[in-house]
Chains A and B, each alone.
Chain A
Amino acid sequence: MPSTDAAALVDLADLGLDEGGDLLVDRGLGGLAPGRRLTVTGRHPALRVHLGAWCRSHGHRLIEGNPPPGGAGWADSALDGGTLMIEKGGSGERRWAGAERAGSAAGPPDARADARWGLAARGALVEAGGPPIGAQWSEREHVWADIAPKLYAAAAAAQWDPATAVDWTAPIDAVPPEIERTVVQIMTYLVENEQAALIIPARLLSQLHPHYREVMQLLATQAADEARHVEVFTRRGLLSGGPLGTSSAGGRASLATLLNEPDFTTASFLLSVLGEGTFLDLLRFLHDHAPDPVTADVTRLALRDEARHVAFGVAHTAHLAGSDPAYLGTLRRSVERRHAALQDTAGLNAEVFDSLVLLAAGSWQPSAIRRGWQAVRDLQARMDEGRRRRLAAIGFPDDEAAELSALHTRNFM
């Protein structure tokens, strides 16, 4: 026998259901089990009419009084609100019968993200049904690193404005024209590489299950970082008013192999651990040999961002290799495959290499060129040492790390 709960009463005063009164009614019904009754009082002139229609469309039942005899319409006096009673239907409960939590909001994220959770926030109560998300990466081991939340927080705090973080008014007049041309060539090369480094995290991001929220956010900041790098390197390249430098077929071929890498972890490994890891040394070199404050600024700012990208790449790859040591074989094969694909290409643009030498030399004097040449050799040695160190951190034995480092592209990225 349906009954009215003692406290199940909602007074709408003069509020109509056409201006939000249904929220109060819904709230009143919320605490009741299906079949229980709610008393609604109010003074809105159309309350009875509104409530009848609202109950019907929401699966509840308005308990009607006796209609006037004879089949005629209700008398005018019966139209007003007064005291009405609703018997709660069960559709609200049935809508949520198959609902489940999309993991825990506080984390850690689940080992496997259900495609049916779709775009729901982690920890949300997800109504059953709706389109599954077509994310390719939905297993924690294949995308996660415990440091991801901290790295994202650091990345969010370290975003800088290209318009103000660099003093674009600093003079470059003192840079000799031939050195300026090396800077322009290097900036042209950097833009090309940073565009690849933007597209790859953006592509990984688009296929990542959003349950791994912190990784998604980190990849978004990584793409935003690279967007800024593209901007500041382009702007520095054009600062002296001349045309940009050259783009070699071999350099672009090397980057194309990165874009084509289908796996999340191997793409992250090749780009961030090996490529951006190598770029840390390159950017430091450019900063140390910068012939002007703008070049020093843009390389310093980019270096800071790239260090985060490398940190995630190493941490994630180590995380996966730690749980599945056989994955080291997959990583090794990705390096070998890329090397094989590039062995018939020139690798680094010769004009970029020459520009690095001249930049470090500072002039065309033979003795200076010798010094510049040696500086670039030292740079390559530091790059190799850094790669071997990161490969070892991931889990490769030292000899294998050295072997794989030697197979890395001559294009640096």
Chain B
Amino acid sequence: MGGLLLGAVAYDPKVVTIWDGFRGWLRDSAGFDFDYVLYSNYERQVSGLVDGRIDVAWNSPLAWVRARRLAAARGVPLTPVTMRDTDCDLRSVVVVRADSPVRALADLAGRVVATGAVDSPQATLLPLSLLRSAGLSPGLDVQVKRFDIGVGLHGDHIGGEREAARALFATGPAEQADAACMIDSNLLLFGREGALPVGATRVLAQTPAYDHCTMTAGPSADAAAVARFGELLLGMDYADASLRPLLDLEGLKEWRPPRLSGYQQLERAVDEAGFYDRDGVITAKDYRP
């Protein structure tokens, strides 16, 4: 059985701590030949996966969508490995000020909607798709005020979402947005940390549940090694004191078997926005990862 080389995106310094820790545990405690490399953005990681430069990629949901399309176009196989418990059943929300006259998504016509970075599934692509489902065309019926922070990180950087939330309460009329888009957990976080004043916002709408990150093996991966890797991740126990700090940093209590049913919403959003074409080519004009 061969080893595995994993790719992860360095969206935060903690990524080194996490994968150094997992690498040590996998090699020393489990005797598994494992190493990792870091990428500056998901697009290059996805190319690396499909081209066989890495065996496994820790993919954002958008990275999964592109990897699937690229692999299908080239006729190479991808194997889902695992995902976190916290990757299941997320929702994004569209938030307005509590005293806003906007009562339904359709009321946003002619108004300004703040979003995260261009490539954020949770704070841009999915909420804008929700607007479309209500008959609003972003950029035409509503003005999109996008906060492009950490472009290429597929929304892993929280900065864009936080700025979108702050735009709801910006003092200058030119900076103020009528609605802001964010993931449900950040709505709670921004409220708790005070970026959104308590009692001053109202959730206008939320998306259906969708899934987030997923671990994907590419064409270069040894099948037995992939299976073993999946077993080892699924076997990581939150009661293990050597693993718990790493699991906490990575934001999960347990790894779960992968499921691919939670990405249809994002596939549709990507098509609507023209973000990638059906073969996984980047077609978004204003996207420079």
Chain A residues proximal to chain B, CB less than 8 Å: 16-19, 45-46, 49-50, 52-54, 56-57, 59, 64, 67, 71-74, 76, 79, 89, 91, 94-95, 97-98, 127-130
Chain A nearest Cβ from B124, distance in angstroms: 16
Secondary structure class of chain B's binding surface, majority of residues? mixed
Q: A76-B205, A79-B203 are in contact. Are A57 and B241 (CB under 8 A)?
A: no
Chain A nearest Cβ from B244, distance in angstroms: 6
A-B contact pairs, 6 of them (CB 8 A): A17-B188, A18-B198, A64-B89, A73-B130, A94-B239, A128-B241
Chain A nearest Cβ from B75, distance in angstroms: 30
Q: What is the size category of the interface that chain B forms with chain A? A: 35 or more
Assess whether B188 is in contact with A53, with CB atoms less than 8 Å apart: yes
Q: Which residue of A16, A46, A53, A130 contacts B185 across the interface (Cβ within 8 Å)?
A: A53
B27 at the interface (CB under 8 A from A): no
Residues of B within 8 A of A89 (CB): 253
B265 at the interface (CB under 8 A from A): yes
A-B complex: 4 closest residue pairs judged by Cβ atoms: A18-B191, A129-B241, A128-B241, A59-B253
Assess whether B208 is in contact with A76, with CB atoms less than 8 Å apart: no
Q: Which residue of A53, A64, A76 contacts B184 across the interface (Cβ within 8 Å)?
A: A53
CB closest chain-A residue, reference B98: A45
Assess whether A76 is in contact with B103, with CB atoms less than 8 Å apart: yes
| Beyond known contacts A74-B206, A94-B239: 14 more, CB 8 A cutoff | A17-B191, A53-B184, A56-B185, A57-B185, A59-B253, A72-B133, A73-B133, A76-B104, A76-B205, A91-B253, A95-B238, A95-B244, A97-B239, A129-B244
> Considering residues B133, B204, B206, B251, which has the most beta carbons from chain A within 10 angstroms of its beta carbon?
B206
A290–B47 Cα distance when bound, in Å, is 87
Chain B nearest Cβ from A297, distance in angstroms: 55
Assess whether B198 is in contact with A76, with CB atoms less than 8 Å apart: no
Residues of A within 8 A of B86 (CB): 56-57
A64–B88 Cα distance when bound, in Å, is 13
Residues of B within 8 A of A54 (CB): 188
| B 50-66 to A, binary, CB cutoff 8 A, 1 in contact else 0 | 00000000000000000
A53–B187 Cα distance when bound, in Å, is 9
CB closest chain-B residue, reference A68: B208
A76–B204 Cα distance when bound, in Å, is 7
B85 at the interface (CB under 8 A from A): yes
Assess whether A79 is in contact with B187, with CB atoms less than 8 Å apart: no
A73–B206 Cα distance when bound, in Å, is 6
Q: A45-B203, A76-B205 are in contact. Are A94 and B188 (CB under 8 A)?
A: no
